[in-house]
Chain A
Amino acid sequence: MNVERIIKFELGRLNAHLPEKRITLKSALSLDKPSVRTKDGKAHYLKREELELLSKLLPEAEWDSLLLPIFISLEPKLGRGAAKIKGTFEAKVIGKILGKETSGDELIVYRPEIAIIRRKLATTTQYLFGW
């Protein structure tokens, strides 16, 4: 049994659900059935209600800068239960949902906050496993 191969395969599979290319909020809103194609070739649909919620949180001029789905980056180096939201507009919109102050292009969120984000944005956020 080649253990290394199995572990490498498992690690490779961890991020297979991520999109090949993210789409902006503006283009997602303009689509009839907004979706993205994942790295493993499957479709991931974005709920319209969530897109509408996001559009209310950001001014229209910024719709073109928010990339969807938003990544919740889980990194072991941050410690268990902590995650990072990367991107200025992504951090801004998540900050607004959580009622947190944001500055810069990163936002650290913790487990109870991740639960809130996932409850409100089930399809417009995705977990990313970083190392």
Chain B
Amino acid sequence: MAARVTISPNRMELMKVKNRLALAEKGYDLLKEKMDALVMELLNTLKAIQKSKAEATAQLKRGYEALSICMAALGTFETVQAAAETKKELNIDISVRNIMGIEVPTVQVGGIERNALARGYSLHMTSSLLDTAAREMELATKVLIELAELEITAFALAQELEKTKRRVNALEYILIPRLRESVKFIMMRLDEMERENFTRLKRIKAILEKRG
């Protein structure tokens, strides 16, 4: 192994490699914990996305049904005209929260459900069916904003998970086995040197005894 060739087998080097191994193992344990936590966060977010998607689909269905009824009763042109007159402003507060260093948006939607007067279209030219359709669509917008927040969160978590997994794998399959191999190599080499030394001393002793 390439890493083994560059190592000089002495006690100092053994100590250094052992320290490096301990650090790598600690890093591995912590990154594995982080990976587990990220998986849990991702699963939680995916569950929430599933729920939010079902909610959004149901709400959009209600919204389009109400809009169809409104168009049939009020007329397409009048409905489109009223929609054009509607105020297209939303009070959204986007802030950031941090999940293990990953910045994800937190969206707080305020006052999305407006009353008929606040919407901006003419009341005497429209009917309550338009109000119902508008309310249902406003609720659908709220659910869609929440869904968007969750999807961005899931995407960011998945990206970080991929990065962490790569680091954990590098430690688990490359660095830690290589360091263990190095420790083993140095220890074997030191044992070998000790045995060589012992034999040499015995041989010297035998020669000296023979001479004496």
Q: With contacts defined as CB atoms under 8 Å apart, how many contacts are there between chain A and chain B in the complex? A: 86
Q: List the B side residues contacting A81 at CB < 8 Å.
A: 36
Residue total for B at the interface (Cβ-Cβ under 8 A): 33
Q: Cβ of B68 < 8 Å from any Cβ of A?
A: no
Contact A122 B101 (CB under 8 A): no
Residues of A with Cβ closer than 8 Å to B? Answer: 3-4, 7-8, 10-11, 13-14, 16-17, 33, 35, 38, 40, 42-45, 47-48, 74, 76, 80-81, 111, 114-115, 118-119, 122-123, 126-127, 129, 131
Whether A76 lies near B40 (C-beta < 8 A) is no
Who on chain A is nearest to B97 by CB? Answer: A123
Q: Contacts A14-B30, A74-B34, A127-B99 given; 15 further ones with Cβ under 8 A?
A: A4-B23, A8-B23, A11-B26, A16-B101, A17-B101, A38-B98, A43-B95, A47-B97, A80-B36, A111-B40, A115-B43, A119-B44, A119-B48, A122-B97, A129-B34
> Interface residues, chain B, CB within 8 Å of chain A?
20, 23-24, 26-27, 29-34, 36-37, 40-41, 43-44, 48, 93, 95-103, 106, 108, 167, 171, 175
Identify which of A16, A42, A127 gathers the most chain B CB atoms within 10 Å of its CB. A127
